[in-house]
Structure 1
Amino acid sequence: MLLATGVRRTHFVVVTIGSAGDLFPFMAMALTLLDAGHRVSFLAPEQHEPYVRASGLPFIGLPADPAVLLDPDLWHPTRGFGVVWRATRPAMAQIVPFVDALPADEPLVLLVHPLALPEADLCRARRPGLKVAAAYLAPQNLPTVHDPLMLGPWPVPRWVPLGMRSWLLRRLAARFIDPVALRDVNAARQARGMPAVPSMLEHLFAVANLSITLFPDWFAPTQPDWPKPLLRADFPLFDPNPDAPLSRELEYFLEDGQGTRPVVFTHGTGNTQARAYFEHARAAVELTGLRAIFLTPHREQLPSELPPSILWQDYVPLRRLLPRAMVLVHHGGIGTTAEALRAGTPQLVVPLAHDQFDNAARVAALGVAFRAVASRLNGVRLARGLQQLLADRELIARCRRISRRFALGQGMQAVRLRLETLAASADAPADASINR
């Protein structure tokens, strides 16, 4: 069946995991495909059903155990990947039977989170010509031996030769990734009659027919060892309810500052273990005499009593709040980072795990952010970081220059067009040479 534009109507199965930061970019792509007339099935953790169904996307819930948010290793710099991997396997196991049950003659493309790539490849056992696109939310999800090379929280100096960098990256994967994931992947491949793979990272890079970066070239230039073909898109910056009105108490608080903007503190919607962070934030606010907004859906992790200079909010669209903020202090999640860049808001980043160290290094290199070490954080150090940030007289000008770049990027329509091109090639034999 052809759409009015002459493009073949395709069934796009969109799969993501994780928190709202993972969900919203995939919703942005899925909605663009749906609006173009394609059939879309959206597979995501079941707790996100209200967001997805309200948008009009057909939702298929995947099992999710909320207890994972309580695992102390979730935010550990090196053990965090293992927690995420084990927590997502029951959900990812649902992809294969879902795809197997679809009509064999239906034009089909999978658009997936990188951690769903092993299961996407399993689907090819019964659909050999199946096309798979992987969407990468942050540069750290595309490891490279080129700069900046971050091994968790540890930066590799620029003078280290490429050969040594390759060895370090292989060692990192062999120690922290392969022992966690490779046995599961190869057991599933054996059950589908597929050969074992020797390396998790090499396997992930070989699965997709198309890789998409949901961050622009000016934030992370294309590296020679990234997979090809590669589409460079922009930050999606999607919010399911971007025009939600600010609460009355928040409006009063913002207007009551007599021209002094507040500092916004958050540590991510999925972080239920940020009690110490918010205690340090309260101490820093009192030491500096600033006003602050504590942004978290988990009120129980805040100090029981907050002074009048601090307002708690469970959720506020960052695109509406940040233009009225002095500084954003946060964990370095890619969605939060991008919203601050767009708003031109100075950032103090306190990374914990996953892609956060790399994101923090990039905004610091852009000259729009300072970094703090989470393991050594206290109220005095946090206050000092805020004072140093606010003392940088050129910072605001740099933030504004970066903010203006957001009018130049490739939006979701570029992603849709490239996915339609991929779908049009679905009947052609797979060419393994372009997948590596």
Structure 2
Amino acid sequence: MRVVIIGVGTRGDVAPYTGLGARIRAAGHEVAIAAHAPYSSLVTDAGLDFRVIPGDPTALLGTRNWAAFAGYARQVTDGIVDATTAGADLLLLGASASAGYHVAEAMGIPSMGAHLQPVEPTGDFPPVMGAFRRSLGRWGNRAAARLLFAAPSPAHSGSAKKLRARLGLAPMSSRAVFRRRESSRWPVFHGYSPSVLPRPADWRPGLEVPGYWWPAPRPGWTPPADLAGFLDAGPPPVFVGSGSHRGAAAERFTELALAALRLAGLRGVLQTGVTGPLADDMLGVGEVPHEWLFPRMAAVVHHAGAGTTAAGLRAGVPAVTMPVWGDQPLWAGRLWRLGVAPAPLTGRITAERLARAVAEAVPGRTRAEEIAGRIAAEDGAAPVVEAVERACITS
């Protein structure tokens, strides 16, 4: 069976699919991942086929240019169509790849959700991809999420009417698409741990939370000499990642991080766009696998994206979170409630605030290691592989 995984988004939205894809390939299937061009090496290094989706999601970070979002959505839709028509017997769709649901229908092949975030409506928390930082109450949370699914949006059902007309399918509104998915119990697997965020009791059957999908190891990767030497030269440092910051914002964030770590009296490894020695006790690094780096840290400071959050939990290290958008507030809140991070830092963040949060987080390693032990006992990929096998038998 030819399985195509659609991973729309940035690096953290693609990397988990490399490990999942490798497990599906090990079960005897052909696997391709469709993603944006900068992440092609992630896919090919895992021994999987790569299919390109045009567009640059990083250009949209921090913007409210809806015309740019609409243009990006059209590029993604075109890419999903092309990636599927290049040859597929089954589609696995990320939360932002819902156009694939219609493409699969048009091609007469099955599809399943493979989500890294819990976008399905629930009363447990507000919609993770909306601008909601506080609960709206159980009824309000569900109603807001259902409204987002019903509205034409690239985040969920997309402009279903236009796409279906393009594909030669019968007209169907986004609301009707959502209702059909619900009534047919369209399967959706979620690649995060139920020990971190339990499966909502009000979810319908078919929405599963089996555990994390870990990025495939990079064959032959070794750490840069300066990083290895820095780690050997002193106590475990604190990792600071800039996440969605770019350009001048990243420069300001680097200065903030350096000042905060000096106030806290801690060494630092910064992944903020600068590389090389920043001081005797500070090192800037480029791309380094988090699964290798994080276990060597005293704590990790990040924006609480799904991938970075997972890597920190897996490593058993405490965190400091500074959520900005999307699903980041959800994961930041979960880390706080699990006792592996202080309260999320929001609003104006000063060096003093960040230094206090880091100093509070560092002693929390024991609790973080407990959570890591629970996660290690889970096999999030196995149920997805089993579902692929069932689809192979019935197709």
TM-score (norm: length of structure 1): 0.79
User: Aligned partners of 2:391 and 2:297: how far apart in 1?
Assistant: 42
Shift of 1:183: 7.2
User: Aligned partners of 2:13 and 2:336: how far apart in 1?
Assistant: 23
User: Aligned partners of 1:200 and 1:388: how far apart in 2?
Assistant: 49
Q: What is the one-letter code of the residue matched to 2:23?
A: T
User: Aligned partners of 2:266 and 2:158: how far apart in 1?
Assistant: 51
Shift of 1:382: 0.9
State the partner residue of 2:116: 137
Q: In the alignment, is residue 330 of structure 1 matched against residue 302 of structure 2?
A: yes
Count of equivalent residues: 390
Q: What is the one-letter code of the residue matched to 2:165?
A: Q
Structure 2 residues not aligned, in runs of 5+ = none
Shift of 1:332: 0.3
State the partner residue of 1:280: 256
Q: In the alignment, is residue 30 of structure 1 matched against residue 25 of structure 2?
A: no
User: Aligned partners of 1:53 and 1:11: how far apart in 2?
Assistant: 16
State the partner residue of 2:341: 369
Quick check: 2:92–2:114 contact (8 Å CA) kept in 1?
yes
User: Aligned partners of 1:126 and 1:413: how far apart in 2?
Assistant: 27
User: Aligned partners of 1:49 and 1:340: how far apart in 2?
Assistant: 24
Quick check: 1:344–1:403 contact (8 Å CA) kept in 2?
yes
Quick check: 2:22–2:216 contact (8 Å CA) kept in 1?
no
State the partner residue of 2:365: 396
Structure 2 CA distance for partners of 1:335 and 1:183, relative to 1, 3 Å: closer
State the partner residue of 2:393: 424
Q: Cα deviations across residues 273-322 of structure 1 (Å, max 9, x unaligned)?
A: 533322211111222222111014x33xx8x9933221000022222222
User: Aligned partners of 1:243 and 1:200: how far apart in 2?
Assistant: 49
User: What's the secondary structure of 1:60's corresponding residue?
Assistant: strand
Which segment is superposed worse, 374-383 or 352-361? 374-383
User: What's the secondary structure of 1:389's corresponding residue?
Assistant: helix
User: Aligned partners of 1:219 and 1:424: how far apart in 2?
Assistant: 33
What are the residue-to-residue correspondences of 1:58-137 with 2, within 5 Å? Answer: 58-65=49-56, 68-71=57-60, 74-75=61-62, 79=64, 86-100=71-85, 102=87, 108-127=89-108, 130-137=109-116
Shift of 1:120: 2.7
Q: Of the candidates 313, 327, 351, which is equivalent to residue 285 of structure 2?
A: 313
Q: Of the candidates 243, 256, 272, which is equivalent to residue 233 of structure 2?
A: 256
Q: Cα deviations across residues 100-143 of structure 1 (Å, max 9, x unaligned)?
A: 465xxx8x21112122222332331342xx2111111123x334
User: Aligned partners of 2:294 and 2:65: how far apart in 1?
Assistant: 29
Structure 2 CA distance for partners of 1:325 and 1:183, relative to 1, 3 Å: closer
State the partner residue of 2:221: 244
- Identity over the aligned pairs, expressed in percent? 26
User: Aligned partners of 1:59 and 1:311: how far apart in 2?
Assistant: 33
Q: In the alignment, is residue 186 of structure 1 matched against residue 171 of structure 2?
A: no
Shift of 1:361: 0.7
CA RMSD after TM alignment: 3.1
Shift of 1:204: 9.2
User: What's the secondary structure of 1:218's corresponding residue?
Assistant: coil
User: What's the secondary structure of 1:306's corresponding residue?
Assistant: strand
User: What's the secondary structure of 1:311's corresponding residue?
Assistant: strand
Structure 2 CA distance for partners of 1:147 and 1:28, relative to 1, 3 Å: same
State the partner residue of 1:5: none
User: Aligned partners of 2:185 and 2:34: how far apart in 1?
Assistant: 18
User: Aligned partners of 1:355 and 1:196: how far apart in 2?
Assistant: 28
User: What's the secondary structure of 1:274's corresponding residue?
Assistant: helix
Shift of 1:388: 2.7
What are the residue-to-residue correspondences of 1:336-351 with 2, within 5 Å? Answer: 336-351=308-323
Quick check: 2:153–2:159 contact (8 Å CA) kept in 1?
no
User: Aligned partners of 2:178 and 2:34: how far apart in 1?
Assistant: 25
State the partner residue of 1:46: 37
Quick check: 1:62–1:94 contact (8 Å CA) kept in 2?
yes
TM-score (norm: length of structure 2): 0.86
Shift of 1:39: 2.3
Q: What is the one-letter code of the residue matched to 1:32?
A: R
State the partner residue of 2:270: 294
State the partner residue of 1:230: 207
What are the residue-to-residue correspondences of 1:14-29 with 2, within 5 Å? Answer: 14-29=5-20
Shift of 1:208: 7.5
Structure 2 CA distance for partners of 1:224 and 1:46, relative to 1, 3 Å: same
User: What's the secondary structure of 2:99's corresponding residue?
Assistant: helix
Q: Cα deviations across residues 155-195 of structure 1 (Å, max 9, x unaligned)?
A: 217xx3x3344344456667xx6466777332112332322
User: Aligned partners of 1:218 and 1:47: how far apart in 2?
Assistant: 32
Q: What is the one-letter code of the residue matched to 1:133?
A: M
User: Aligned partners of 1:419 and 1:338: how far apart in 2?
Assistant: 24
Structure 2 CA distance for partners of 1:179 and 1:210, relative to 1, 3 Å: closer
Highest RCO, 1 vs 2 (Cα 8 Å, sep ≥ 6): 1
Q: What is the one-letter code of the residue matched to 1:322?
A: F
Shift of 1:253: 1.3
